[in-house]
Amino acid sequence: MTATIAPPASLAADAPAPLPYGPRMTRLLPAMHRSLLVANRWFVVPALRAGLGPLFSNPVTGSLMVLRTRGRRSGQWRDAPLGYVIRDGAVYCCAGFGPSTQWLRNVRVDPRVEVVLPAGALSGNAEEVTDPAEWTPAMRALLASMGPIGRWTAGDVRAMSDDALRAHGAGVPLVRIRVTGLAGGPFDPGGSGWIVVNGALALLAVGWLARAAAHRRAATRT
């Protein structure tokens, strides 16, 4: 059984609304997308899945999570690092590349997702927000949580009127994830967080032993 997500009628016309990035950034989006695919696959996602989410949480970039969706063709888990905000017991994120964003297309076929947060992991059902009364404050909170990056891409959302924000962000789908249960996190059985922790401890131990050996060598020369 499949589930479809309709675009919010009050936020989008029959044709997809343009992305709110301006002409210069819009021209750069394809190159940015390709670069992000490489960085996400080989660095960001492995780091977040290894439990390094707290290192990515700061006022400049906001906080990052891993959204895990089922590939609509392969049926395999697909991971995407995303900014997020938590409101009223739900996790909110947005498809920054518009309706064609791959993870959003997966969600439209199968809304069951997993989310790896900096402090844990959960399973849930994802649904595009269609009610402007919910979309507006949630999108405002999400963009504001991204700090300078949010202001660079969307302007000062705190000063925007509700109508201006909806008009500005109509081309960016907002998704709500309602929690349905727990998922395996980096430090749960089967996770890879132990590799990072034990690797860091091993490096500290090697450094301490090397320093101790250097002190002993220096002592024997005197």
Q: Where do the structural domains in the chain lie, given as residue ranges?
A: 22-188, 192-222
What does pLDDT average to over the chain?
Answer: 78
C-beta atoms surrounding 20 within 10 Å? 18
Share of the chain above pLDDT 70, in %: 67
Alpha-carbon distance of 23 to 25, in angstroms, equals 6
Instruction: Say which residue, 65 or 217, is predicted with more confidence.
Output: 65
H helices within 115-169, ranges in order? 132-145, 148-154, 162-168
Q: What is the greatest pairwise CA distance in the chain?
A: 83
Alpha-carbon distance of 188 to 82, in angstroms, equals 22
3-state secondary structure of 21: coil
pLDDT per residue as tens digits for the range 144-171:
888 777 777 777 888 889 998 888 888 8
User: Which residue do the tokens 């809304």 mark?
Assistant: 111
Asked if pLDDT for residue 142 goes beyond 60, the answer is: yes
Residue type, 68: R
Alpha-carbon Rg for the chain in angstroms = 21
Name the CATH code of domain 22-188 (choices 2.30.110.10, 3.30.465.10, 3.40.190.10, 3.30.460.10): 2.30.110.10
- For the entire predicted model, the pTM comes to 0.73
pLDDT on residue 13: 42
